[in-house]
């Protein structure tokens, strides 16, 4: 087959994760080709949501796209809460507010919501602007062959039907939940089937004029069997996504009477423009392996997540950040092949953690708290009113962590990673709703504002950064010499602020390119080479062969 191009990294799939990975690699300086089977980016008004948590917004800040995302996102003053109701013009059961949408002390960024059809093109444009991302549309991945030196992807031009091939050192599958790459490698994708859903995109101007529940980001429609549908503001400017929540069978678009469902949800006639609808499958699956030789899985190709909590895309973007610096390091030669195994060890448990939380949220959506009784919620009696109030309270309690999830966004850590140097401290609790900043190795290095107005997070992204705190910081010449011997990029930043020193807990904190602490101490360790070898992957023996990696990881089941 005609090999038309060679590249260090080939990315299959141009959704948010593939595009984020391409942009991240390019900004690190590693050229890459992205192939996408469609003729462009986010061509149809996608039914997917676009809730980006604080961590993803931090990535956008690093990538230089944060301002454009915020400009196109849902307006900041849009009331962010979920109202549980029998219909827009029916009874309210209760509501669940999002945390006050204000500046927080944990992150330089706040969460934002932007629909995929606006968001994905921002990433594509930024990636192309680097001149190192080569995006090829109408290019469908078919299969791959790998050998000791590289991997050849066989593709089809979807316009001409012509086959062609691209040769790469590494391939990353970002081709979504049905991933051709994953299936062609035979990687099992076990998990839970959570049924079928259907999303309909609608345009309704000033919806709040047609009901008395108040301007609200999301409604959850409840009947005598629990919740059956939801409706979320997609952009805060009149675009709505109406979802039927559960069916055992896939919805048949030719025979579904969506108008009847909408009438039930609205409780009276409300004028709307119907845009499109699409059925989709809800599941919680995670690939047994995120690596097979020179091929990696990321985003929905690696793990699926119920959208309840908006964690699927956020988790995938975390994969993109986690994998990009590793691939960049290995391609440039300062990273040892052992780094490649760390990706799965670090990211797979996070995927399981986040998708488990999302399934829990989904159960709360469907049936409230344990034993919530919905049988009387439609009754026009005082008994019915009492039943509604009780069910509403139970749903709000159950769904608290869905909105209050700063711990999920910022508190994830890479415990047991072979490229992190543990400092002997105990792992703090991983609470979905609480985030306690820490520089403990494996955790995201904390945010604090520097005297010049930047965030500490703005220091990270290119190479390792050694933060030195205090007036007379320890001598770090041996570490500079040790990293230089191995060409590991390292810069040293001195911070005098005693508040930030307190936040960072040690006088020396070594932060990786992805913003996670790799090591910390009050003085350098005696064996510098050991430290350098660990962080560059030299001590994580790569046991992966071209047919599949087998690094022993902590057992995490879906």
Closest contact distance (angstroms) between CB of 215 and ligand FAD is 19
Residue 456 is classified by DSSP as G
Please state the closest distance from residue 473 (CB atom) to ligand FAD, in A.
Answer: 39
Instruction: Please identify, among the stretches 8-16, 99-107, 362-370, 450-458, the one whose residues bind ligand FAD according to the rule CB under 6 A.
Output: 8-16
Distances (CA, A) of 186 to 100, 156, 189, 339: 45, 21, 9, 23
Q: Name 199's Cβ contacts closer than 8 Å, sequence gap at least 6.
A: 47, 241, 242, 243, 277, 278, 280
Stretch that binds ligand FAD, among 13-21, 211-219, 373-381, 489-497 (CB under 6 A): 13-21
User: What's the min distance (Å) between Cβ of 162 and ligand FAD?
Assistant: 15
Phi, psi (deg, nearest 5) at residue 309: 120, -15
Give the pair of three-digit tokens for residue 242: 């109406």
Dihedral of the alpha carbons of 277, 282, 286, 292, in degrees to the nearest 10: -30
Q: Which residue among 180, 284, 358, 456 contacts ligand FAD (CB under 6 A)?
A: 180
Reference 395, options 363, 424, 426, 425; nearest CA is 363
Picking from 50, 332, 336, 295, the residue whose alpha carbon sits closest to that of residue 174 is: 295
Helix ranges (H only) for 199-337 are: 258-266, 312-332
> Of residues 90, 94, 108, 299, which one binds ligand FAD by CB under 6 A?
299
Considering the complex, state which of residue 302 and residue 495 has its C-beta at the smaller distance from ligand FAD. Answer: 302
Question: Please, which of residues 263-292 interact with ligand FAD by CB under 6 A?
Answer: 280
Which whole-number Å values give the CA distances from 67 to 61, 71, 233, 251, 388, in the listed order? 8, 6, 21, 38, 42
Residue 318 binding ligand FAD, by CB under 6 A? no
Candidates 7, 8, 9, 15; binder of ligand FAD (CB under 6 A) is: 15
12 near ligand FAD, judged by CB under 6 A: yes
Q: Which of residues 82-141 bind ligand FAD (CB under 6 A)?
A: 140-141
446 binds ligand FAD (CB under 6 A): no
CA distances from 505 to 445, 470, 502, 509, 520 (A): 11, 11, 5, 9, 9
CB of 51 to ligand FAD, least distance (A): 3
Residue (155 or 479) nearer to ligand FAD, CB: 155
- State the minimum distance, in angstroms, from the CB of residue 158 to ligand FAD: 9
Give me the least distance between CB of 55 and ligand FAD, in Å please: 11
Per CB under 6 A, does 199 bind ligand FAD?
yes
Rule CB under 6 A: say whether 236 interacts with ligand FAD: no
Rounded to whole angstroms, what are the CA distances from 516 to 75, 156, 427, 438, 444?
Answer: 31, 39, 15, 10, 4
Look at strands 218-223 and 226-233 and give their pairing. antiparallel
Which of 85, 168, 174, 287: binder of ligand FAD (CB under 6 A)?
174
Q: How far is the CB of 521 from ligand FAD (least distance, A)?
A: 36
Give the residue with the Cβ less far from ligand FAD, 234 or 535. 234
The DSSP code for 375 is T
Q: Does 78 bind ligand FAD (CB under 6 A)?
A: no
- Cα three-residue angle 306-241-126, rounded to 5 degrees: 80
Q: What ranges in 368-514 are assigned the alpha helix state H? A: 382-403, 406-410, 477-485, 498-504
Q: Considering only CA atoms, which of 108, 142, 121 is closest in space to residue 37?
A: 142
Q: Is 21 in the site for ligand FAD (CB under 6 A)?
A: no
CB nearer ligand FAD, residue 84 or residue 196:
196
4, 5, 31, 37: which one contacts ligand FAD (CB under 6 A)? 37
The residues of the shown chain that bind ligand FAD, judged by CB under 6 A, are 12-18, 35-38, 47-51, 140-141, 174-176, 180, 199, 280, 299-301, 307, 310-314, 316
């Amino acid at each position: 087959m005609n090999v038309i191009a060679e590249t260090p990294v080939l990315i299959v799939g141009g959704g948010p994760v593939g595009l984020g990975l391409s942009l991240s690699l390019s900004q690190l300086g590693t050229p890459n080709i992205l192939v996408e089977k469609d003729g462009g980016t986010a061509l149809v008004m996608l039914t997917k949501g676009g809730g980006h948590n604080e961590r993803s917004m931090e990535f956008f800040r690093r990538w230089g796209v944060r301002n454009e995302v915020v400009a196109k996102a849902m307006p900041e003053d849009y009331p962010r809460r979920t109202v549980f109701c029998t219909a827009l013009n029916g009874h309210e059961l209760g509501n669940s507010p999002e945390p006050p949408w204000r500046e927080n002390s944990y992150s330089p960024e706040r969460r934002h919501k932007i629909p995929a059809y606006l968001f994905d093109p921002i990433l594509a444009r930024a990636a192309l602007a680097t001149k190192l991302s080569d995006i090829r549309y109408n290019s469908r991945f078919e299969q791959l062959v790998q050998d000791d030196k590289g991997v050849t992807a066989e593709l089809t031009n979807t316009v001409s039907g012509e086959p062609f091939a691209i040769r790469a050192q590494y391939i990353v599958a970002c081709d979504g939940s049905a991933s051709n790459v994953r299936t062609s490698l035979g990687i099992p994708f076990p998990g839970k089937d959570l049924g079928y859903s259907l999303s309909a995109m609608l345009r309704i101007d000033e919806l709040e004029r047609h009901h008395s529940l108040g301007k609200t980001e999301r409604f959850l429609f409840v009947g005598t069997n629990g919740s059956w549908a939801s409706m979320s503001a997609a952009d805060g400017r009149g675009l709505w996504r109406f979802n039927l929540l559960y069916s055992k069978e896939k919805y048949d678009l030719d025979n579904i009477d969506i108008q009847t469902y909408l009438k039930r949800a609205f409780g009276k006639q409300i004028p709307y423009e119907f845009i499109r609808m699409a059925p989709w499958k809800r599941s919680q699956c995670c690939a047994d392996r995120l690596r097979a030789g020179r091929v990696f899985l990321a985003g929905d190709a690696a793990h699926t997540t119920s959208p309840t909590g908006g964690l699927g895309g956020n988790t995938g973007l975390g994969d993109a950040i986690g994998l990009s610096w590793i691939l960049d390091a290995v391609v440039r030669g300062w990273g040892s092949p052992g780094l490649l195994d760390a990706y799965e060890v670090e990211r797979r448990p996070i995927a399981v953690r986040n998708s488990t939380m999302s399934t829990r949220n989904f159960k709360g959506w469907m049936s409230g708290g344990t034993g919530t009784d919905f049988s009387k919620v439609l009754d026009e009696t005082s008994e019915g009113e009492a039943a509604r109030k009780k069910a509403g309270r139970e749903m709000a309690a159950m769904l608290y962590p869905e909105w209050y999830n700063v711990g999920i966004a910022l508190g994830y850590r890479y415990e047991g990673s072979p490229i992190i140097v543990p400092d002997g401290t105990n792992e703090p609790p991983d609470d979905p709703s609480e985030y306690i900043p820490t520089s403990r190795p494996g955790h995201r290095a904390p945010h604090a504002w520097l005297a010049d107005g930047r965030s500490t997070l703005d220091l990270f992204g290119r190479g390792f950064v050694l933060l030195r705190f205090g007036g007379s910081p320890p001598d770090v010449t041996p570490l500079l010499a040790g990293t230089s011997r191995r060409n590991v990029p390292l810069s040293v930043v001195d911070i005098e602020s005693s508040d930030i020193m307190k936040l960072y807990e040690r006088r020396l904190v070594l932060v990786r390119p992805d913003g996670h602490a790799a090591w910390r101490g009050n003085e350098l360790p005696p064996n510098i080479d050991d430290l350098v070898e660990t962080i560059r992957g030299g001590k994580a023996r790569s046991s992966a062969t071209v047919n599949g990696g087998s690094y022993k990881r902590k057992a995490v089941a879906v």
